[in-house]
Structure 1
C-alpha cells in the first residue's frame, strides 16, 4: 500500500518545515538519526532517511546502512507499546484475561506460585502499567548478564523467572520498568489466541494496515521477545501511528478499539523520571501553537533513540529511528525533533 503524500502546508504545517529539518541535521545536534517520517490525517508530509551504522538485536553490528522508509530497523522497546495494542485487540475478542485477573491463573504449571497469596495479587493491569512490584533491573547495559531482561532471556523458563522475582513493592504502588511484565502479556496473547505472537500480530494488526514486511526476534527458548524483538520499516511503523492518530481506525475499519486506546492513554502511574505512564505508553503534554496547552501526546520509546509519537487530537504521528543503542542521552535527538521541529511547526 502506497502512502498518499501532501505538501506540509496543505496539512497545517509551516511550509518551510523541511528546510528547518535540514538545518537541524546540518547543525549536528541530533545524533545518529537514521530516519524521520511525519504524517497528518493519514498523509505523509515529511520524510528523511540517512546513512549510518546500525545494529540488530541478537545479531550485533550490521555496518553502514543507507536507510529507506522500507528498510527494517530494530524498534527495541517500542515493541512493548505494540504488544499493548495487541493485548487490547485480544481482550476485545474475549481471548485473554481481563485487567483484574491474577496473572498466575494463566500459568497453571506454576502451582507453587499460584498458592502464594501475595503473587495472586499481581494482575494483568499491573503488568500493563509496570506496577507488578517485582524486583527487576534494566539499568545495566543490555550486554551485561546481570540485566534482568538478559537474565530472563538466558533463564530455562522466562515466565517462571519473571513471576518468581522477589516482591519489592505492593502491586500498583511503584513503577518498575520491566521487560518481564511484557513477556507475560505476550504469553497470555499466545495462550488465549492459540497463535504465535507474530501470527497474531500479522493477522490482526499488520495485515489490516498493509504491513507485509516484519521480523520478530525469538530467544533461545523459541519464545518471541514481546519486550524488544520487533523490526519494522519507518513507514510501516508510521502506518501504526497514523491508525492510532485516527482513533484506532484505518480505511473505515476498526483495527484497535477506541475504548482500549482511551484506557491505554489514561495516566496510571509515574515513571522513575517523572513522566506519566498508561498501559505500555508514555504520556506527555504537548503545545503546538494551534492547540490548547496540555494537549496530550503519547509515545513508544525504544533503546537507541527509537520513537513513535502520536498527537491524537491533531491526527498527527511521527516516527524517529536512530542508532544510539546503549548510549546515554540517546533520547535527546529524537525528542528534539518532536518538540522543536514537528510540534512548533504545526500551525493549523
Structure 2
C-alpha cells in the first residue's frame, strides 16, 4: 500500500469544525489557494483543491525541491559517495576558476547544505541562465566571507549540490531518487527542470502532486519511515531537520529566523518545514504527530504560517479520539469538495460585446511580446485571442466557471484554465490560471471607440507584477 489511509478528523483527535474554521480563515486572508492536505497520526483527515486546481495535477514546488536534494545527499552519504566535510573544489574539479581563492578552497559540502557558503548574496541571480556551464559560472563568483560564518539563502548552492550528485552518481538527481525515494513512496511522474547541461536545477524546478508532497513530509515526520519501511536514513532525517545554523537576518519574517538545517527551515512551536516560493509549504509538527501541506500563489508564506499558528496548531494538541461528529464531518467534507478560486465577477455580456467581437486590435512593441488582442463572443462563451511571437493563443473564458486548456502563452505549453466577465459596459476581465504553477494572469481589456487599453498583471512574482499596460487600435 502506498496511499495514505483516510479518516475522520475526530477519530484522530481533531475537530472537524475547527478545521472548517481554519479553512475559513485561509480563504479570508489568502486569495490564491490551490490545495490543502492535513495528516494526523498517519491518516489524511482533510484534503481539498481549489478549482481549477486538482488532486491529480502536479504542481511546481519551487524551493521545496531543495529538501528533496537534501534527501539525495543523505542517500549518497549512506552509500559512501560523499561526506559532509568534502571540499567543493574536490567535488567539482573540472569547473573551477583559474585562481581558487582561500574562501572557495575552504568551502565544504555542509556549507552548501546549510546556506553558509560565504557568499554575500544569493548566487543564482548573478548567473546568466543561458550560460552552458552553470557550475563554472557559480564557482567563479567572489566568495566574500569565510564559509560557515554567515547564513545567506543561496539557491546557487543547491544547484551545485545537484551538479555534485550527478558527477558522482552519473545520474540526474531525479533518476537517482527514483528507486530510493519516489518508487517506495509511490510518487509517479515527477518532473524536474534542467540546466543547459542536463543537470537538474536542484533549488527549484521539481513538480509533483499535493499528496506526493505529503508522502515525502510524512516520511520525514516518522524518522524516514514510510508505511513500515525505513526509506530515508533516520540519522539523516534528524540532522537535516535540526537547527544546524542560525539564520536570523534583518527584517526576516518570524518563522525565517528559527534556524536552518540541511535545506529545511525550522519554525516556531517546535515545528519545521520544506518551503517553496509563493506559498508552497510542507509543515511538520513532531510533537503533535501532524503534517500540513499547502500549495498556493501568495507573495509571502508568512501570512499562511501565522494562520496555522493561530487557528490550527491549538486544535492539534489532543491525541485522544474525539466523540464522532457526523454532521460536522459531513459539512467539512462538502466544504472541501466545493472549493474554488472565484471567477471574475461581472456580466456575461455587455453593450460593447457585439461591437468588438472578432475585431483584432494591434499593439505597439512591448516587453510582454504581445502584438494583437481579440475578443470573440459566441453563443457558448467568450474566446480571448492573444498573439505573440510564438503564435495566436486562443483561450475560452468560462463565465462563472473555469475552462481548462493547454497554452504556450507563457514560456512553454502548459495546462491553464480561464474565466472572465464584463466588469462594466466597456471593460472585459479575464483570469488565466497556470494550473501547474503558483502563477495566474489577469488580463483587462477596456474598449473605447476603435481603441483598447490592455493591462496584464501577475498575481505573484520575483519582480514587478504588472507585466503590460498599453493601448492598441483596431486593425
- TM above 0.5, yes or no, is yes
Q: Which residue of 1 aligns with 2:263?
A: 280
1:181 equivalent among 157, 167, 173: 157
CA distance in 1 between counterparts of 2:114 and 2:145 reads 14
- For the 8 Å contact 1:78–1:228, the answer to whether it is kept is yes
CA distance in 2 between counterparts of 1:340 and 1:152 reads 42
**1:18-33 superposed matches below 5 A:** 18-26=19-27, 28-33=28-33
- For the 8 Å contact 1:35–1:48, the answer to whether it is kept is yes
Pairing 1:102–2:87 present: yes
- For the 8 Å contact 1:4–1:44, the answer to whether it is kept is yes
Deviation at 1:115, TM superposition (A): 4.9
Q: Which residue of 1 aligns with 2:403?
A: none
**1:36-51 superposed matches below 5 A:** 36-51=36-51
**1:219-258 superposed matches below 5 A:** 219-258=195-234
Deviations 1:193-245, CA, capped at 9 Å, x for gaps: 22211111212111110111221112333221101010111111001111111
RMSD: 1.9
CA distance in 1 between counterparts of 2:14 and 2:172 reads 41
Pairing 1:341–2:302 present: no
Pairing 1:308–2:309 present: no
* Shift in alpha-carbon separation, 1:106–1:252, aligned structure 2, 3 A: same
Deviation at 1:150, TM superposition (A): 6.9
Deviation at 1:79, TM superposition (A): 0.6
Deviations 1:291-317, CA, capped at 9 Å, x for gaps: xxxxx2111111111111112233221
**Secondary structure of 1:5's aligned partner:** coil
* Shift in alpha-carbon separation, 1:67–1:154, aligned structure 2, 3 A: same
CA distance in 1 between counterparts of 2:126 and 2:197 reads 13
Deviation at 1:87, TM superposition (A): 0.8
Q: Which residue of 2 aligns with 1:144?
A: none
Deviation at 1:345, TM superposition (A): 1.4
CA distance in 2 between counterparts of 1:216 and 1:345 reads 36
**1:11-90 superposed matches below 5 A:** 11-26=12-27, 28-51=28-51, 66-90=52-76
Bigger Cα Rg: 2
* Shift in alpha-carbon separation, 1:307–1:25, aligned structure 2, 3 A: closer
- For the 8 Å contact 1:36–1:47, the answer to whether it is kept is yes
Pairing 1:3–2:1 present: no
Deviation at 1:35, TM superposition (A): 0.7
Deviation at 1:261, TM superposition (A): 1.4
2:240 equivalent among 264, 273, 295: 264
Q: So what's the TM-score if we normalise by structure 2?
A: 0.62
- For the 8 Å contact 1:149–1:178, the answer to whether it is kept is no
Query: 4+ residue stretches of structure 1 with deviation over 4 A?
Result: 111-115
1:136 equivalent among 96, 121, 124: 121
Count of residue correspondences: 310
Pairing 1:168–2:144 present: yes
- For the 8 Å contact 1:40–1:242, the answer to whether it is kept is no
CA distance in 1 between counterparts of 2:171 and 2:95 reads 22
Q: Which residue of 2 aligns with 1:290?
A: none
**Secondary structure of 1:186's aligned partner:** helix
CA distance in 2 between counterparts of 1:199 and 1:234 reads 20
Unaligned regions of 5+ residues in structure 1, if any? 52-65, 139-147, 287-295
- For the 8 Å contact 1:245–1:314, the answer to whether it is kept is no
Unaligned regions of 5+ residues in structure 2, if any? 319-475
Deviation at 1:25, TM superposition (A): 4.2
CA distance in 1 between counterparts of 2:119 and 2:26 reads 42
CA distance in 2 between counterparts of 1:189 and 1:43 reads 34
**Secondary structure of 1:16's aligned partner:** helix
